[in-house]
Structure 1
Amino acid sequence: MSINQENSFKPSLSLVDATMIVAGSMIGSGIFIVSAEVARSMGSSGWMMAMWVLAGVVTLIAALSYGELSGMFPKAGGQYVYLREAYNPFIAFLFGWTQFGVIQTGTIAAVAMAFAKYVGYLAPELGEKNYLFEIGSFHVSVAQLVAMLSVILLTFINTKGVKNGKIIQTVFTFTKLFSLFGLIIFGLIIGAKAEIWNANWANAWELNSLSMADGQLVTTGLTTMAFFGAVAVSMKGTLFSSDAWNNVTFIAGEIKNPQKNIGRALFLGTFIVTIIYVAANFMYLAVLPFNEIAFAPSDRVGVAAAERIFGAGVGAATIAVMIIISTFGCNNGLILSGARIYYTMAKDGLFFKQAGELNKDDVPGFGLWIQCAWTCVLCLSGKYNDLLAMVIFGVLVFYVITILGIFILRKTRPDIPRSYKAFGYPVLPALYILVALSLAILLLIYEPNYAIPGLGIILLGIPLYFIAQRSKK
């Protein structure tokens, strides 16, 4: 028998569990790859580090701001609920639709493909080049099948209750945190070379873009407009690597003392990950010449660094195992939390009715499986890299709208108890809105191939909302 009362959610997640969901959902494969594109775009070590620090600071400000909203509305659905309460069901639906259409599912698909890619690195017969069948330009590789199977497995585990997902999340997140710390420490102790470090910081603040032509390095000075474009490209990667911290708000109904613990978990998780990301990039600059960071084969900066530290064979295998662990744990957190949005949407009559029911293990089983099905379609499409790029535009838009909601709720609903208030209000939340909105506009200007389809997916939610409203009536 299905149970569909919201109070059937069992508050079984501690502060540590919630923090592991924040950190574990953030750390995927980006930290091992993204630095190459940032290095090429910005052209110097100082500006490369500035992009990572800026992404960390922006993420921390947003996370601290969300603490106020989580204290006011500690309910399943998190950010969807915040938008509904600050604005109206229409804005909340656009967020929920975009989460289902591309943000949550597209991120899960992209992370699953990164998982499969490195499984294929260790076991080539499971790799991307081994096709199961081809029809014209469409093909399905063994790696795509591995990606889908990993999503199906994690979905099945999470349908059996939040306890199983909690165990996987905590074990895998602790493992990858210690692995990353280990890689950073070994890199700084064993792999670091003073001459490489000094050379990388000799012209730390020159603004150039780097490219290769006929095997030769080409350095191009950046004009003011080109600089803004380089920032947009760089921040697309660094912000995506730091994203998904808000997933913990979706499972508020299953967290002990959510009014306080969600805010604490948001801060602790984002702070830990920011420190690790900045430290990892310092390690790259101590181990690898800047050009080798920028032009690491297939952008695998982590692999290049590990090969310098441990030797070619051992280093590559070490990073492959770390990424497999990292992406598997990351997707567990994304899968666990995503279905709670669809649960709350269904309760509002804006999603499939079955998604608003809990199964015998007190989790939204139907929501988990429908999320799994669409994610597998995205894996099958082979367009996961494009989806990844589209994700960040939608993410920024809804972060801006949500944090603006703090200002609105302070005026319209001042009497709601606030167990935690946004740090640095109104200056820091306003600063975040300014920075994030600027980045979203830069993406529209300089990355239109990705940002415009991302905007299109959001706008597609408008007719869908009215269709859902008509169906509800």
Structure 2
Amino acid sequence: MADSVDFRKRNTNTNVELEFDIEPRRDVLKLKRNVGLVSGVSFIIGSIIGSGIFISPTGVLSETGSVGLSLVVWAASGAISLLGALSYAELGTMIPRSGGEYAYLYDGMFPFIAYMYSWTRTIVLQPSGVAIICLTFASYMVTFFEYCGSPAPPEKIIACLAIVTLCIINSYDTSWAAYVQVFFTIAKLVAIAIIIIGGFVKLGQDGTTHLRDGFKGSTNSPSKIALSFYDAMWAYDGWNTLNFLTEEIKNPNRNLPWSNYIGVPLVTIVYILTNISYIVVLSPQGLLDSSAVAVDWGKEMLGSAYVIMPIAVMFSTFGAANGLLYSSGRMVYAAAREGHLPEVLSYVHATLYTPLPSIALTGIIAILMTIPADIGSLVDFFSFAAWLFYGLTVACVVILRIRQPNAERPIKVFILFPIVFTLISIYLVIAPIIDDPRLEFLWAAIFIVGGFLFYFPFVVFKIDRGCFDYVTTFLQLVCQIAPSPYIPDI
């Protein structure tokens, strides 16, 4: 390891040499390991429990047609998420680099597949996820303003301010982001605990009436069941969050799998109990008629104190957006470090040790994503593309078992886990297209294929001829950022 860090970088085209005036260090410029077991579990729970549990229950019940089958779908979705998380844990400890799916696709398949993933996720998937969650945060904050009798600012302004705030937190210190995640995870679990306890209270008051019909009215349509899984799995999205932070996890061989073992089953239990509470308090028909299920539940059980429910949703969505922004910035950072995105996006702040450029890019695109009014289209686009790459990534477990049978695997899952998950992913991608082909799916396919236009000229043939050097030089001077090559721990 070098005795000091040289932060000088010469631009050969502009003949400019940059030098940051900082003290020499005996360590290299790299991401710090600030994420332990508690914060790792918090990132998983905080990223999964966001807007989904306050939006998806109506869709799941509507598609399944019965209370019993809807609860089965919620439990099965948790099991699917756990299969994916365990498969990712094997990949994450075998390939201990930040970037999540990008790093695994790069080693398990081809660099081109990894590039297509980074292209799709960088420009649309992660920013749109942040935008959707922050818009949900804004809509519930407006409800809070109305309860207080104060004029509410426009929802999109609130959403944009939330995105900017999260970018500042994540850019300043990774420890801050971890503390924020722990706090809002605890806050949202307390709020959801109120819903669950309220459900038990209602059950004690002969509230089992709506549960007695069980599977009466259950659908027999495979396509409708698939669509119900779409709704439920949207609520579980985020189960893979921790794999984006592998280089920042303390003792990843232990903390990565155990965070998944604890986090995903805990969320599954919470989701099932929360749905039972919704059903026994509102009735199945009341749940189907509700546009804001948590608020309607609060009005029914808490009376005038229902204001705590919009606050709970605000906590939940803010924590989920924080976890998503944290992980998305690392994916951009990892892809740029491999040369699949502009090099400057892999730079790290010289004193804060955070991937400032990649976080800023994600935040800017997320703000732009708040402009479209049809959030439902963004959700459809997100789900279609996300499950395509989830399936490809987990398939890398099987591929690497064949290609590298003797590679070190601190975690080795039962081989049927990745196989079953991959088959389910294929089903979730194909079933909605067959049942209800939409324009969003066509645009998603066109956008993914559009990555070809940039891959060959800029990644394969590198014909940019230094056209980004001036931009890189400017950003280094303004943002005080420097290159951060991957250096494994010794």
Q: Same fold (TM over 0.5)?
A: yes
Q: Which residue of 2 aligns with 1:255?
A: 249
Q: Which runs of 5+ in 1 are unaligned?
A: 131-140, 208-221
Select 1:455's aligned residue among 445, 457, 467: 445
Correspondence list, 1:166-185, <5 A: 166-185=178-197
- Three-state SS of the structure 2 residue aligned to 1:150 is helix
2:122 maps to a residue whose letter is F
Q: Contact conserved, 2:93 with 2:252, CA < 8 A, in 1?
A: yes
Q: Contact conserved, 2:198 with 2:277, CA < 8 A, in 1?
A: no
Select 2:418's aligned residue among 423, 429, 436: 429
User: Residue 288 and residue 164 in structure 1: after superposition, are their counterparts in 2 closer, same or farther (change >3 A)?
Assistant: same
Correspondence list, 1:34-45, <5 A: 34-45=56-67
Q: Which residue of 1 aligns with 2:79?
A: 57
Q: Which residue of 2 aligns with 1:381?
A: 372
2:319 maps to a residue whose letter is G
RMSD: 2.3
Q: Which residue of 2 aligns with 1:402?
A: 393
2-side partners of 1:159 and 1:245: how far apart? Answer: 23
Q: Which residue of 1 aligns with 2:170?
A: 158
How far off its partner does 1:332 sit? 0.7
User: Residue 194 and residue 125 in structure 1: after superposition, are their counterparts in 2 closer, same or farther (change >3 A)?
Assistant: closer
> Highest relative contact order (Cα 8 Å, sep 6+), 1 or 2?
1
- Three-state SS of the structure 2 residue aligned to 1:338 is helix
Correspondence list, 1:320-469, <5 A: 320-359=310-349, 360-422=351-413, 425-449=414-438, 450-469=440-459
2:170 maps to a residue whose letter is N
1-side partners of 2:7 and 2:148: how far apart? Answer: 39
2-side partners of 1:2 and 1:95: how far apart? Answer: 31
Q: Contact conserved, 1:378 with 1:384, CA < 8 A, in 2?
A: no
Correspondence list, 1:171-210, <5 A: 171-189=183-201, 191-192=202-203, 195-207=206-218
TM-score, normalization: structure 2? 0.85
2-side partners of 1:387 and 1:106: how far apart? Answer: 7
2-side partners of 1:435 and 1:123: how far apart? Answer: 42
2-side partners of 1:341 and 1:320: how far apart? Answer: 31
1-side partners of 2:318 and 2:148: how far apart? Answer: 16
How far off its partner does 1:294 sit? 1.1
2-side partners of 1:150 and 1:448: how far apart? Answer: 34
2:187 maps to a residue whose letter is T
Q: Which residue of 1 aligns with 2:300?
A: 308
How far off its partner does 1:451 sit? 2.9
2-side partners of 1:24 and 1:376: how far apart? Answer: 21
User: Residue 194 and residue 6 in structure 1: after superposition, are their counterparts in 2 closer, same or farther (change >3 A)?
Assistant: farther
| Larger-Rg structure | 2
Select 2:156's aligned residue among 144, 151, 155: 144
Select 2:35's aligned residue among 10, 13, 37: 13
Q: Which moved more, 1:6-15 or 1:275-284?
A: 6-15
Deviations 1:305-327 (A, max 9, x none): 2222212x322x12100000001
How far off its partner does 1:204 sit? 2.2
User: Residue 379 and residue 289 in structure 1: after superposition, are their counterparts in 2 closer, same or farther (change >3 A)?
Assistant: same
How far off its partner does 1:228 sit? 2.4
1:418 maps to a residue whose letter is R
Q: Which residue of 1 aligns with 2:482?
A: none
Q: Which runs of 5+ in 2 are unaligned?
A: 1-5, 10-26, 464-490
1:206 maps to a residue whose letter is G
Select 2:263's aligned residue among 264, 269, 289: 269
Correspondence list, 1:38-117, <5 A: 38-117=60-139
2-side partners of 1:177 and 1:456: how far apart? Answer: 40
How far off its partner does 1:255 sit? 0.8
TM-score, normalization: structure 1? 0.87
How far off its partner does 1:74 sit? 1.3
2-side partners of 1:354 and 1:90: how far apart? Answer: 20
User: Residue 157 and residue 2 in structure 1: after superposition, are their counterparts in 2 closer, same or farther (change >3 A)?
Assistant: farther
2:396 maps to a residue whose letter is G
Q: Which moved more, 1:263-272 or 1:246-255?
A: 263-272
Q: Which residue of 2 aligns with 1:239?
A: 233
- Three-state SS of the structure 1 residue aligned to 2:35 is coil
How far off its partner does 1:448 sit? 2.4
How far off its partner does 1:61 sit? 0.9
2-side partners of 1:283 and 1:69: how far apart? Answer: 37
2-side partners of 1:270 and 1:53: how far apart? Answer: 11
Number of aligned residues: 438
- Three-state SS of the structure 1 residue aligned to 2:348 is coil
2-side partners of 1:372 and 1:196: how far apart? Answer: 45
User: Residue 470 and residue 75 in structure 1: after superposition, are their counterparts in 2 closer, same or farther (change >3 A)?
Assistant: closer
Q: Contact conserved, 1:126 with 1:143, CA < 8 A, in 2?
A: no
User: Residue 199 and residue 348 in structure 1: after superposition, are their counterparts in 2 closer, same or farther (change >3 A)?
Assistant: closer
Q: Contact conserved, 1:75 with 1:253, CA < 8 A, in 2?
A: yes
Q: Which residue of 2 aligns with 1:213?
A: none
How far off its partner does 1:178 sit? 2.2
